[in-house]
Chains A and B, each alone.
Chain A
Amino acid sequence: VSDVRLAAEQVRGPLPSETDVAIVGGGLAGTALAYYLACEGVDVVVLERSELNREASGTNAGSFHFQIAIHQLTARETAGSYARLLSDVRLLLRAAELWGTLETELDGELGLHATGGLMVAETPAELQILHDKHEIEAEAGLETHVLEGAELRRFAPYLAEDLLGATYCPAEGHANPFLAAPLFARRAVDGGAVVRTGVEVTAVEPGFLLTTTAGPLRARRVVDAAGAWADDVAALSGVTLPIRREGLHVNVTEPRQKVLEPLVQHIGRRLTLKQAANGTFIIGGGWPARREERPARYSTIWQSAAGNAAVAVRVMPGLADVRVVRMWTGVMAFTDDLQPVVGEVESLPGYFICIATTGFTLGPMIAKMLAANMARGEALPPEYAPDRKGTRWTATT
């Protein structure tokens, strides 16, 4: 991978005085957007206050979860959850298709693996949910199979024998989150984009004039791609974004012989589990981490480790003696309606938002959509608009 990384000198130079598009945030969304805009011939500058790919984009497990999951089912919603789930799955399918083309398009390794994924159920009620969601997935065009009893045990002998069932989705898999944003950044720079790290935006005046720690930058348009901190960046322009940031706990084990091919999730309890190519098990699934003030990373909560480990060992008993060598935390940008935020802020023309809530999977997809909108005026889905009206979402200026 050494040949695709930007050298320190390439991201440390002086800032240009002006640009068409200034992107705030050097994560997956920001670097991918810079790449797609550069491809469209748009003049673009990415400003990252620390290092590229250091927050949510680089601190997640890189999994592609396409099946409807526990957090989508439990998100509070007043109405229309069937329609929402259907459109969620369809968007994920488009994102999956895009990921499948990226290694060729970007001419670099992304560690893509379509391993398939299992979603397990322990109780009859959970099993019923698997059947229900399978129907939605089928309608949306996502291939899933409900496996029960002996069929499941044959298919996944490493799972606990008394699990009632699981859905299997062949399309699920993972990429290497350490490679994606850096590769996009490299190809963006190859295409003429300017990427600067260690540059923090401290003020944004209408028009736009950005004050940064590396001097002023004039930009015709600004994109807030600051992920979990997008609300702070938006606030510089007087825009209120109801983004939350949450820390997520991950347990990583010592490497063991490869026994687990697919991803494993649980429809009723917090679990994502996979075995990486190097043999380590990566175990998470929505256990919280403690918020700390930047630049400190979110710290781990032992209770999260303990609860997460309990579910993992319950689902895959062979993990009992596998040792955890490291607990880490990721941070996640999170909207209460669990939808991405992509598009121009109506009340502030020229100011755009590009955030894939809970989504490594969606980053490149929404960036590509926004680039097409900004370069060629292609329409964006209204349900992702920053100014959408919903019970769980209001952006105001």
Chain B
Amino acid sequence: MSDSHDLLVIGGGPAGLAAATEAAATGLEVALVDERPTLGGQIFKQPGPGFRVRDPRALGRDFLRGRQLIEAAEASGARLLLSTSAVAVRGGEVVLVADGERARTVTARRVVVAPGAHDRPVAFPGWTLPGVVTAGAAQSLVKTQRVVPGERIVFAGSGPLALAFPAQLHHFGANVVLALEAGRRPGVADLLRLAAAGTGNLSLLRDAAGYRLELARGRVPLRYARIVVRAEGDGKVEEIVHATVDAGWRVVPGTEERIDADTLCVGYGFLPSVELLRLAGCELGYDEDLGGAVVVVDEWMRTTVPGISAAGDGTGVAGSFVAIDEGRLAALGVAVDLEALAPEAARRRAAPMRARLRRKEAFRRALRPLHAVGGGVYDLAAPDTVICRCEEVTRSELDAAIDSSPDIDVIKSFTRVGMGLCQGKTCQRQIAGMVAHRHGLSPAAVALPTPRAPVRPVALAAIADDAVEDLGLFVRE
């Protein structure tokens, strides 16, 4: 394969697929990489090896939408490189590692980063017990393997997913015994506001209604303003303790209840996977609703780093409909920059996308008061609760380090927090929340640790290159 491209798209979810398809249609030479063996990203994750889909319609509307996107990309002429991770980026140079192969550096005139999102972790006593799974992981199990994670499932979380997910699980035959939403129950004012913002978003409202119906039919209790305060059990989840929270998600004393369960599925929303974008040096903003650190983009999804655009949940978690339009906009911007498309034609083509994005944005704003993440989630951990799972750092160890400095790099150096296999993807937000709380800062003001390559672990033999000459640091003539 050639090592230079007009456009390299990183990520084969809705945003990346849409970007590659749209760009290829303008005649650009496009390559798309995704670390998984199949396309679709998390939302349109395809059934795993050994599964054959006889009746796609039986798998639901989302599955069909995903298939359409994938098939369009496959027919677009873009090269689709699967099982290939982008592990480092600098300008138009991207280091790719295909499974079992050596790293190679490719160059691209433009790069669209569409990295998607990952589950927002919330640490509470027992969150590391076997039987606690994130919503994303449970969805992966269902979508790729058609298995549900347990026999008595409690769902706890917040946001649109908190309704959708237990309903979907129930639909798949899972025994969901309780669903907890940390946000408050929608009132009449909320429903009116949502209805007002509903223009063009009817399918989302219809979905929401459908999910409620599914839960009601299955007699799955859905309780608002309740949060999991701990999971208990001997080596595995056996009991869940939950309690009422106030508007800031702080636990109201004396409201604890217990329920038997073997599985706790937690879904407090998603965080944009901004590692590559940070590594590239793209400027980030902050939007708690969109998952915290979000990359700054212009009207064509161009970041502040020349040649690098971003699209999809990686620019702020807003779902697959938004991601698809953002991916297309990014591609149109690239096509204009590379003179594959006239600016006027791009503007025309973008107009309906922008209209859809405006409607989605209005809807999201209407939802905001119901699901804004409360600061109380950062207070659930007990002193001996492990916050950094990779390095097994407990809350009390972290608190002591946080006392000495608000600088996360300093806190890392004292505790090794965030220095393990996941490189802080799991605990970083929790720690930023704790720092903000201790030092009286807003979460937006807490600087994230220095971004470092590789954004996925890579074997030394895959990195090694005997052809590299001694770069001669010490010798100076």
Contact = CB atoms under 8 A, between A and B. Distances in A.
Interface of A: 1-2, 5-8, 50-54, 58, 70-71, 74-76, 178, 182, 246, 248, 251-255, 269-270, 278, 283, 286-288, 297, 299-307, 309-310, 312-314, 319-328, 334, 336
B401 A53 contact: no
23 contacts: A5-B400, A6-B404, A7-B404, A50-B407, A51-B407, A75-B474, A75-B475, A182-B404, A248-B473, A269-B470, A278-B416, A287-B471, A287-B473, A302-B88, A302-B95, A302-B105, A307-B465, A310-B468, A313-B461, A313-B464, A324-B459, A328-B450, A336-B476
A302 B453 contact: yes
**10 smallest A-B Cβ distances: which pairs?**
A307-B468, A2-B400, A306-B465, A323-B457, A320-B461, A309-B464, A71-B474, A310-B464, A309-B463, A178-B413
A51 B411 CA distance: 11
Given A51-B407, A74-B475, A287-B473, A305 B463 contact: yes
Contacts of B406: 8
Contacts of B460: 251, 253, 283, 309, 312-313, 319-324
Contacts of B404: 5-8, 182
Nearest to A305: B463
A288 B472 CA distance: 8
Contacts of B414: 1, 5, 178, 182
Interface stretch (B128-136, B215-223, B241-249, B419-427): B419-427
Nearest to B439: A8
Interface in B83-114: 88, 90, 95, 103, 105
Which of B105, B452, B475 is packed against the most chain A CB atoms within 10 Å?
Answer: B452
A254 B457 contact: yes
Given A8-B404, A303-B468, A326-B419, A270 B461 contact: no
Contacts of A252: 419
Contacts of A322: 459-460
A257 B405 CA distance: 33
B454 A324 contact: yes
Given A178-B413, A324-B454, A51 B461 contact: no
B382 interface: no
B379 interface: no
B473 A270 contact: yes
B299 interface: no
B403 interface: yes
Contacts of B458: 323-324
B471 A307 contact: yes
Contact of A300 (B391, B400, B401, B453): B453
Given A54-B409, A300-B452, A306-B464, A325 B473 contact: no
B477 interface: yes
A327 B464 contact: no
A306 B474 contact: no
A6 B414 CA distance: 12
Which of B409, B452, B460 is packed against the most chain A CB atoms within 10 Å?
Answer: B460
Given A307-B470, A309-B461, A320-B461, 10 more contacts: A2-B400, A5-B400, A8-B405, A8-B406, A52-B410, A251-B460, A306-B463, A310-B465, A324-B457, A325-B420
Chain B interface size, as a band, is 35 or more
A304 B470 CA distance: 9
B463 to A, nearest CB: 4
Contacts of A53: 410, 413
B239 interface: no
Q: Is the interface of B mostly helix, strand, loop or mixed?
A: loop
Nearest to A177: B413
B344 interface: no
A299 B281 CA distance: 10
A304 B423 contact: no
A128 B439 CA distance: 58
B160 to A, nearest CB: 34
B3 interface: no
A384 B180 CA distance: 68
B474 A327 contact: no
A304 B475 CA distance: 16
Given A297-B450, A302-B105, A310 B410 contact: no
B418 to A, nearest CB: 10
Contacts of B401: 2, 5
Given A313-B464, A327-B452, A7 B474 contact: no
B234 interface: no
A5 to B, nearest CB: 4
Contacts of A248: 473
B55 interface: no
A335 to B, nearest CB: 11
Contact of B471 (A54, A288, A309): A288
Contacts of A269: 470
Contacts of A2: 397, 400-401
B409 to A, nearest CB: 7
A278 B390 CA distance: 11
Contacts of B405: 8, 51
A53 B416 CA distance: 15
Given A2-B397, A8-B404, A51-B410, A286 B474 contact: yes
B453 A246 contact: no
Contacts of A71: 473-474
A302 B463 CA distance: 9
Contact of A74 (B420, B453, B459, B474): B474
A278 B416 CA distance: 11
B238 to A, nearest CB: 31
A333 to B, nearest CB: 13
Nearest to A70: B474
B85 to A, nearest CB: 12
B51 to A, nearest CB: 29
Which of B421, B457, B471 is packed against the most chain A CB atoms within 10 Å?
Answer: B471
Contacts of A283: 460
A325 B421 contact: yes
B388 to A, nearest CB: 13
A319 B462 CA distance: 11
